[in-house]
Amino acid sequence: MTKHNFFAGPAVLDRSVMDQAASAVGTFDDMGLSILEISHRSKQFVAVMEEAEALVRELLNLSDDYAVLFLTGGASSQFFMVPMNILASGDTAGYVDTGTWSTKAIKEAKLYGNIEVLASSKEDGFNHIPKPDVPDHLRYLHITSNNTIYGTQYKGFPNTSVPIVADMSSDIFNRPIDDISKFGVIYAGAQKNLGPAGTTLVIVRKDLLGKVDRQIPTMLNYETHIAKNSSFNTPPVFPIYVCMLSLRWLKANGGLKVMQAKNDAKAKVLYDEIDRNSLFAGVAATEDRSNMNVTFTINNADLEGKFLDFVTEHDIMGLKGHRSVGGFRASIYNALKTESVHHLVSLMKEFESMHA
């Protein structure tokens, strides 16, 4: 019973990761206990946390200027934690509005400082990534590197001396980042391209901190978690453990360059078929097409439900598009196998021969 998991998140992880995770829920390490019942202060879990951090540093080539944190609350909590921690009330930050998640980030940031929305593709249904000039006076520039709902993605990052804050929830670790020093903060809910739901990776350039004078609750202050290696309070032990397994898998499979090549190849197979097939059309502007979330529609509304039923009968899960876009969304994260994309493409061809 092989299912092809195209869910947008929580999403597919490699089977080897799941098997190791299941085993650790049974008995972890040599402890004779489940990983669910061990102290976060045990040397065994401290080693997990350290390895997870080290793998993030290695894969992204991070210097000691950056802290690596595993927090909770999702990217949605970073929408306010970023400005709360680094935007003083008189400061201005720039935001690029590329969809639902950017819009939410903008809303929360307005509680803390001046927010300039530099550009938005809202009028075009968020079908592309606008590339505005970035004024130098900004404290930071916030972008959403990949837009899960609309299927758009930054192919290169803005050329600016302003620190970039990036919500990378849906494409973290999908490719190398050439110039990591451009970034002030990178954050990502784990449950799309990194691990299971329940933890949020936050990477912060430490020199940005300590410059606001508002009172920040202890748990919302990045400095709290930096000082305590993400264990000021009890961290989400098992979600972090599975992220670590997933990072190990990423490294063992060649790291980010190899992953990017695989991801681009998988995406090309699918976009080529969307462009070739007389029934389907892509949603996102060609130059901004995501290699993580592929959005497409069918040219006959009567066939939409039929196509979903057809692929579901053939073991494909999670292909329904987000309600705000409609159509279909194939989320093809790192752990989705090339075979799953080929399977979908063959079903698209078969459906065309039945209905074109």
Active site residues: 101, 167, 192
Tokens 């529609």 found at = 297
* Residues constituting the chain: 356
Asked if 94 interacts with a copy of itself (CB under 8 A), we say no
CB contact at 8 A, 222 and 186: no
Spell out, one character per residue from 223 to 252, where the chain touches a copy of itself: x when CB under 8 A holds, - when not: ---------xxxxxxxx--x----------
CB of 4 to a copy of itself, least distance (A): 10
Q: Distance (Å, rounded) from C-alpha 283 to C-alpha 143?
A: 20
Q: Distance (Å, rounded) from C-alpha 53 to C-alpha 103?
A: 30
Helix (H) or strand (E) holding 238: helix 237-252
Residue type, 207: D
What's the DSSP call for residue 260?
H
Q: Which stretch binds a copy of itself (CB under 8 A): 22-30, 121-129, 249-257, 275-283?
A: 22-30
Q: Which stretch binds a copy of itself (CB under 8 A): 70-78, 175-183, 254-262, 348-356?
A: 70-78
Rank residues 79 and 271 by Cβ distance to a copy of itself and give the closer one.
Answer: 79
CB proximity list for 125: less than 8 A, separation 6 or greater: 150, 325
Q: Which stretch binds a copy of itself (CB under 8 A): 19-27, 179-187, 268-276, 302-310?
A: 19-27
Asked if 176 interacts with a copy of itself (CB under 8 A), we say no
CB of 320 to a copy of itself, least distance (A): 10
CB contact at 8 A, 328 and 151: no
From candidates 16, 57, 100, 104, binder to a copy of itself by CB under 8 A: 104
Asked if 99 interacts with a copy of itself (CB under 8 A), we say no
CB contact at 8 A, 279 and 351: yes
Q: How many chain residues touch a copy of itself (CB under 8 A)?
A: 65
Q: Residue-wise over 263-278: b if at least 16 C-beta within 10 A, else e?
A: beebbebbbebbeebe
CB of 203 to a copy of itself, least distance (A): 19
Tokens 């699918």 found at = 270
Residues engaged in binding a copy of itself (CB under 8 A): 1-3, 5, 7-13, 18-19, 21-23, 25-26, 31-34, 36-40, 42, 72-77, 79-80, 84, 104, 107-108, 111, 189, 191, 195-199, 215, 217-220, 232-239, 242, 315, 317-318
